[in-house]
């Protein structure tokens, strides 16, 4: 049996940004531990470091993609460009791999980041099964299908949709939560992209979502009805099922762990806005003084380039440094999963990226939310209104929010709920739990191809 499994090669197609590389490499690690051989195809841009993963085969493909495209921050045009530029090289790559195939190491399927939907067409071309991976909540899939449908049903403007508490056919999933993702203006580009994405999901043999069934039961049910030909696997949180690996594109500053070791339990607020969000100088200074005023110890990630048109960290003045002294630790990039697991950490001020949220709920850490774009506007609603394990930051009220999150009695219930949610996650990962079972089903599904 083991030998048989080893002969199954799974080819991954990555989307080259940190919040996607991490969960995809975690999923690859999980499948590798189940006996599958792994080939990771990735655009040259933001290449992962192969030496961190000697067990995988890495194949870079040309992407004709430039840093300048990324700096526009226009995700729609980034996704479109990657889909356009990578299809032909990926096709060639698969053709080559199929030529080299010996029957001990045949390609059993293509597992692709859902945003690299061209990979499904390539899979179809070679008559290989395609599996689409969603690295954001399952509910975001509904946006692609349900919204156009509602539009057809006469709900014309976004405001019109927002005014409804419930979508006519989305049961109790609040429309407002979904509409939050649509806060950005809908352009032709977005409509086209959504259609292409939905089309790839329809053709896929399976959809894997980095979520847990108990978190999104209802959305998962609807998605299964929407895409009856694909099997849906809620196999998250991937990082808990994968043995500890690092796929950081920036160097993790591990000095912050020794600093954390010197802090009291649950006293530190960890502050990070992930790999893409950026702020202006004014917001940086507000954050700095809010942290200073909160009187709590803090670990703050100020990523290079995070503060627009500015040197970032250098903006922080001597008087700020003197005020905080040893109470603050600032780094350019942290080993986040390790930080959130640390007993000194009692709160997470986050931009609400889905990975960050999963990593936080897995450790029972309540969140202070400051969403920026895309699914972050949906994720914040999950955190603050559905699971009630965090609060949304109101402008000018940093000190109060941090104290409520970490120490005030007012926040006690919220902190308890965060602990309870962690227990539910632990249950889903244990033998017989939903994520545990989902992983077994997924491995079986791939073996059945
Ligand atoms: N991360 C990290 N160190 C940091 C900040 C973030 O390792 O200092 C990791 C974090 O653990 C997560 C990923 O980067 O896995 C960010 O993904 P997320 O979905 O939260 O946000 P994105 O970067 O996609 O906006």
pLDDT in the model for residue 6 = 46
* Cβ burial, residue 182 (10 Å; 0-12/13-18/19+): middle
The whole-angstrom distance between residue 30's C-alpha and the CA centroid of its chain comes to 17
Please say whether the dihedral angle defined by the alpha carbons of residues 89, 38, 131 and 422, taken in this order, is positive or negative: negative
| Distance from the alpha carbon of residue 243 to the mean position of ligand 1, in angstroms | 18
Question: H or E element: which one contains 379?
Answer: helix 376-381
pLDDT in the model for residue 155 = 59
pLDDT in the model for residue 147 = 64
Q: What is the CATH number of domain 255-427?
A: 3.40.50.2000
This prediction has a pTM of 0.94
Question: H or E element: which one contains 68?
Answer: helix 67-71
Q: What is the ipTM of this complex?
A: 1.00
On whether the CB atoms of residues 434 and 234 are closer than 8 A, the answer is yes
On whether the CB atoms of residues 360 and 387 are closer than 8 A, the answer is no
Topology agreement, domain 7-246 and domain 255-427: yes
Torsion of CA 15, 16, 21, 23, to 10 degrees: -30
d(CA 201, CA 195): 10
Domain 7-246 has CATH 3.40.50.2000: yes
pLDDT in the model for residue 165 = 56
- Whether ligand 1 lies within 6 angstroms of the CB of 22 is answered as yes
* Ligand 1 atom closest to 17 (CA): 24
d(CA 58, CA 47): 9
pLDDT in the model for residue 176 = 61
d(CA 431, CA 442): 15
| Distance from the alpha carbon of residue 18 to the mean position of ligand 1, in angstroms | 7
d(CA 430, CA 236): 12
Q: What are phi and psi of 100, to 5 degrees?
A: -75, -15
- Whether ligand 1 lies within 6 angstroms of the CB of 46 is answered as no
Mutate to test the pocket of ligand 1, among 14, 16, 19 (most ligand atoms within 8 A of CB): 19
- The low-confidence residues of the chain, meaning pLDDT below 50, are 1-6, 158, 168, 171-172
Mutate to test the pocket of ligand 1, among 250, 336, 349, 370 (most ligand atoms within 8 A of CB): 336
pLDDT digits (tens, 9 = 90+) for 201-252: 999 999 999 999 999 888 888 889 889 999 999 999 999 999 777 899 999 9
- Whether ligand 1 lies within 6 angstroms of the CB of 272 is answered as yes
* Cβ burial, residue 315 (10 Å; 0-12/13-18/19+): middle
What are the sequence ranges of the domains in the chain? 7-246, 255-427
pLDDT in the model for residue 34 = 94
**Which of 256-261's residues contact partners 24+ apart within 8 Å by CB, and which partners?**
256/299, 256/329, 256/331, 256/334, 256/335, 256/339, 257/335, 257/338, 257/339, 257/342, 259/299, 259/329, 260/299, 260/329, 260/339, 260/342, 260/344, 260/345, 261/344
On whether the CB atoms of residues 385 and 172 are closer than 8 A, the answer is no
Q: What are phi and psi of 301, to 5 degrees?
A: -95, 115
Token output for 104: 């001990």
pLDDT digits (tens, 9 = 90+) for 366-383: 999 999 988 898 888 889
d(CA 237, CA 157): 35
- Whether ligand 1 lies within 6 angstroms of the CB of 354 is answered as yes
pLDDT in the model for residue 145 = 65
Q: Which residue, 326, 387, 435, 393, is CA-closest to 27?
A: 435
pLDDT in the model for residue 186 = 67
- Whether ligand 1 lies within 6 angstroms of the CB of 36 is answered as no
* Ligand 1 atom closest to 272 (CA): 5
On whether the CB atoms of residues 244 and 167 are closer than 8 A, the answer is no
């Amino acid at each position: 049996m083991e030998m048989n499994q080893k002969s199954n090669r799974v080819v991954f197609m990555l989307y080259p940004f940190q919040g996607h590389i991490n969960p995809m490499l975690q999923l690859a690690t999980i499948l590798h531990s189940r006996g599958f051989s792994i080939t990771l195809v990735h655009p040259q841009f933001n290449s992962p470091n192969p030496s961190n993963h000697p067990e995988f085969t890495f194949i870079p493909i040309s992407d004709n993609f430039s840093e300048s495209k990324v700096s526009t921050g226009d995700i729609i045009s980034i996704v479109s460009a990657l889909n356009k530029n990578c299809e032909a090289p990926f096709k060639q790559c698969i053709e080559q791999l199929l030529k080299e195939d010996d029957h001990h190491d045949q390609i059993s399927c293509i597992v692709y980041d859902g945003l690299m939907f061209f990979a499904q067409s390539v899979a179809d071309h070679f008559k290989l099964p395609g599996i689409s991976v969603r690295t954001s909540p399952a509910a975001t899939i509904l946006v692609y299908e349900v919204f156009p449908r509602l539009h057809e049903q006469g709900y014309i403007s976004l405001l019109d949709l927002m005014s409804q508490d419930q979508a006519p056919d989305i049961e109790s999933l609040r429309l407002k939560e979904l509409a939050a993702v649509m806060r950005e203006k809908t352009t032709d580009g977005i409509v086209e992209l959504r259609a292409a994405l939905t089309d790839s999901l329809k053709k896929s043999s399976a959809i894997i979502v980095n979520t847990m069934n108990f978190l999104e039961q209802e959305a998962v049910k609807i998605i299964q009805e929407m895409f009856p030909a694909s099997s849906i696997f809620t196999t998250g949180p991937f990082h808990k099922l994968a043995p500890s690996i690092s796929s950081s594109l920036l160097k993790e500053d591990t000095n912050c762990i020794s600093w954390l070791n010197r802090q009291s339990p649950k006293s530190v607020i960890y502050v990070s806005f992930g790999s893409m969000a950026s702020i202006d100088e004014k917001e940086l200074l507000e954050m700095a003084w809010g942290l200073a005023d909160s009187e709590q110890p803090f670990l703050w990630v100020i990523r290079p380039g995070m503060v627009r048109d500015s040197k970032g960290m250098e903006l922080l003045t001597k008087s700020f440094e003197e005020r905080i002294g040893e109470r603050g630790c600032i780094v350019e990039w942290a080993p986040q999963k390790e930080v959130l697991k640390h007993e000194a950490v009692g709160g997470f001020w986050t931009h609400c990226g889905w990975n960050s949220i999963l990593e936080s709920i897995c450790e029972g850490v309540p969140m202070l939310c400051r969403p920026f774009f895309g699914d972050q506007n949906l994720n914040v609603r999950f955190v603050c209104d559905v699971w009630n394990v965090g609060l949304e930051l109101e402008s000018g009220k940093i000190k109060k929010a941090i104290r409520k999150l970490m120490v005030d009695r007012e926040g006690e219930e919220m902190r308890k709920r965060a602990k309870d949610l962690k227990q539910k996650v632990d249950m889903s990962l244990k033998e017989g739990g939903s994520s545990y079972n989902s992983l077994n089903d997924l491995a079986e599904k791939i073996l059945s191809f």
